[in-house]
């Protein structure tokens, strides 16, 4: 696994734990030599995450739609900034550039990005792991809703569910393991 796409808020949120988690996770990505792919903004948790990766010597690829360059104040200090024409292009490029997807706390944009990659996985359009870093129980109600949808027959029981953990190191280890397994299964390579 070479790159991880992280979805997170364009604000820092109401609890300091959210921004702290973004910074800690960014440092962890850099230390492990993983490239961060993210929404390209220089605001909120997106900025905290990207700056932490850069400060730790890591590589950051930002992908931002033209209409958000000023609104989210495109981060001009990232390793590579790609400006695209629409939100749809942003998500498609982030998927193409990434080996896995991890959501940190965020709002509608974060949830939209998360559910799009989960939907694409369910449809077999990609086989990359999806995960939630459950900071301070932020995703507890979402996890309950998804489980309810599964029990009530709206989500196929065989669909790939996101990895959920409140420990960033353990979450990243699990995602790396799933990414390696997905690569082996799609390439037909022998793990020996």
d(CA 46, CA 172): 18
First to last CA, the chain: 18
DSSP state of 137: G
- What is the Cα Rg of the chain in Å? 16
What does the pLDDT look like over 86-106, one tens digit per residue? Answer: 999 999 999 999 999 999 999
Residue 139 lies in a domain: yes
For 116, the token pair is 């799009």
Coil/strand/helix, residue 145:
helix
pTM score: 0.92
Among 18, 93, 30, smallest CA distance to 62 is for 93
What domain range includes position 58?
A: 3-183
For residue 189, pLDDT over 70 is answered with no
| Overall number of domains in the chain | 1
Percent of the chain exceeding pLDDT 90 equals 84
CB 26 within 8 A of CB 48: yes
**Over residues 107-128, mean pLDDT:** 94
For residue 192, pLDDT over 50 is answered with no
Residue 191 lies in a domain: no
Higher per-residue pLDDT: 185 or 188: 185
For residue 183, pLDDT over 70 is answered with no
What does the pLDDT look like over 68-91, one tens digit per residue? Answer: 997 768 999 999 999 999 999 999
What does the pLDDT read at residue 185? Answer: 58
Residue 192 lies in a domain: no
What does the pLDDT look like over 23-33, one tens digit per residue? Answer: 999 999 999 99
**Over residues 159-172, mean pLDDT:** 90
Degrees, nearest 5: CA angle 16-18-24: 100
**Which domain CATH number covers 39?**
3.40.50.450
Is 127 buried (19+), middle (13-18) or exposed (0-12) by CB count in 10 A?
middle
d(CA 144, CA 66): 36
Q: 184: pLDDT confidence band, cut at 50, 70 and 90?
A: low
Residue 79 lies in a domain: yes
Residue 118 lies in a domain: yes
What does the pLDDT read at residue 156? Answer: 83
d(CA 46, CA 39): 7
**Over residues 107-130, mean pLDDT:** 94
CB 34 within 8 A of CB 1: yes
What is the Cα 167 distance to its own chain's centre?
A: 15
């Amino acid at each position: 696994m070479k790159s991880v796409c992280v979805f997170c808020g364009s604000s820092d949120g109401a609890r300091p734990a959210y921004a702290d988690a973004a910074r800690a996770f960014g440092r962890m990505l850099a230390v492990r030599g993983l490239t961060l792919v993210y929404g390209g903004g220089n605001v909120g948790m997106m900025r905290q995450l990207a700056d932490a990766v850069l400060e730790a010597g890591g590589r950051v690829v930002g992908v931002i739609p033209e209409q958000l360059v000023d609104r989210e104040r495109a981060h001009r200090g990232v390793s590579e900034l790609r400006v695209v024409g629409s939100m749809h292009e942003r998500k498609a490029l982030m998927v193409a550039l990434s080996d896995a997807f991890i959501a940190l706390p965020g709002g509608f944009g974060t949830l939209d990005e998360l559910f799009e990659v989960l939907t694409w996985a369910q449809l077999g359009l990609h086989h990359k792991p999806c995960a939630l870093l459950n900071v301070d129980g932020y995703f507890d109600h979402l996890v309950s809703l998804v489980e309810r949808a599964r029990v009530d027959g709206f989500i196929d029981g065989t669909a790939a569910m996101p990895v959920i953990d409140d420990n960033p190191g353990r979450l990243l280890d699990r995602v790396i393991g799933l990414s390696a397994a997905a690569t082996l299964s799609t390439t037909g390579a022998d793990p020996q």
